Amino acid sequence: MTRIAFLGTGVMGVGMARRLMAAGHNLSVFNRTVEKTRPLVEQGACLAMTPRDAAEGADVVFAMVGDDEASEHVWMDASDGALAADLKPGTIVVECSTLSHDWVMRLSAVIQAAGHTYIDCPVTGYPHMAGKGELTLFVGAEEADLERARPFLGPLCTEIIHFGPIGNGTAYKLMVNLMGSVQIAGAAEGLLIAEKVGLNMNTVGYALSKGAAASPQVIQNSERMIAGGHENNVVFSGRWRLKDTSYGLRLAEKFGHEAQFGLVAGGIYRILVDSGHGDENETKVIDVLRKGS
């Protein structure tokens, strides 16, 4: 039985960890908010109070946390980080969080220098998909390293898309999330025009779902914007949308591109967060535009 450490059992991580347990692996779990580990512990996972404790003796260490700062803490903390554990040479490290490209390159270099295998593995999908093993994984890794990791990635997903070496999985994730930010902001602007004209908004939502402008991002978020209630059943908060947008903009700048649409979208999400609505669903952005028009 493979021993796996899972760091970060929030809305996505809990479903992913559950899938690994269902595949027969022995899990040790850590989360900053201990209460969020309870469903897994009740199903047989071992509770660890620090990332270091979780990683001791693990064959594979997964992380699914919110941002660079959280990732740095769970891996690099001098006393409690996972890299302070007595890891076996060649331990597979799978970082599934959506992180900045700069941090992924730095972290992977440290992990590889310590003699371990790094898998750059951000994911796409929603919490219910994580629980069903229906995620898509965007992987950056050497082919041989990916093949070693596949048995542990398989229970999480319906597809693994390999983009090449470390950093490329993250680069794609940041690029596509930046596109998503622009799409959501654009959908909000379009809906406000329709609202001002006096169109029936339910009809507008239906028509959008049938037209050339439709995408899963546009359809889902347009429905939420039309329905309102952005503080309820938060799927992806404005705070996390701003984080992803900021990381995407930093990636574009790093490689010499000025992402003009992304900059506009990022500015709107900054207003959303600064106005105190960062913990509401990202669709709250329509109210930011509504107040500014």
Which runs of consecutive H residues, i.e. helices, occur in 33-126?
Answer: 38-42, 51-55, 68-76, 101-113
Neighbours of 63 (CB within 10 A): 25
Single out the residue of 164, 167, 138, 174 nearest to residue 153, CA to CA: 138
Dig out the tokens for 200 from the structure.
């029936």
- Strands 60-63, 92-95: pairing is parallel
Strand order in the sheet with 60-63: 46-47, 26-30, 3-7, 60-63, 92-95, 117-120
CB contact at 8 A, 27 and 13: no
In this structure, what are the phi and psi dihedrals at residue 70, rounded to the nearest 5 degrees?
-65, -40
Single out the residue of 216, 206, 205 nearest to residue 180, CA to CA: 216
Query: Of residues 173, 196, 254, 291, which has the active-site annotation?
Result: 173
β-bridge mates for residue 117, sequence order: 92
- Known catalytic residue at 173: yes
- Strands 46-47, 3-7: pairing is unpaired
Tokens 């992380």 correspond to what residue? Answer: 63
Q: Which residues are catalytic?
A: 173
